[in-house]
Structure 1
Amino acid sequence: MRSAVGTPSGRVEGLGPRVDAATLGRLSGGTEVSQEMTLTGTVGNNQIDHAVTGSNVISSGSFDGATGLPMVIQNTGNGVLIQNATIISVKLQP
């Protein structure tokens, strides 16, 4: 993992521009937060012939060494639309 290193330009390497305390103060408490997501998709005119599906198994140790928020999307079918969305709310407190 690369660590964030401050630069003279006021940017934090890999993270973008710094935000001053006054701006953070105005944005605290959930300003501009959305917890709604709309996904749309279409599957049509599919034709599957002689399809073979495999096993759908998550075994012990599958997430060893994983960081962040690991996600698994499993599908045992063919010709399907898979939609995935995640909303993560983070609350920072002093």
Structure 2
Amino acid sequence: MSEVPLEEAEPARKAYGDLTEGERELVRDALAVIVRDPAVGREIPGWRPPSVEYTYTTPLAHDSAEAITVVYTHTHGMGVTVVYYFRDPQVVGR
């Protein structure tokens, strides 16, 4: 199975630079999951085809309410574009 091509938009690159090393590690793990299956995230309704916009959230720790969220778009046949990364203090579960 081939992986989906992935690129980062400029706002995502800047946000990545503001993350701690531990948060960056979580982002790298999340991106590995996303490139294997772009539909793994939660679809954001109202986005116009052919692209679909998603969020993928991963907890900072097993027992943590805080998380890192990756916002990305997927265009079938073209790949994934990461729009932004952010620390989400309000997430309770996956």
Same fold (TM over 0.5): no
Structure with the higher helix share, 1 or 2: 2
User: TM-score normalized by structure 1?
Assistant: 0.23
In our comparison, the structure showing a higher alpha carbon Rg is 1
User: TM-score normalized by structure 2?
Assistant: 0.23
Answer 1 or 2: higher relative contact order, Cα 8 Å, separation at least 6: 2
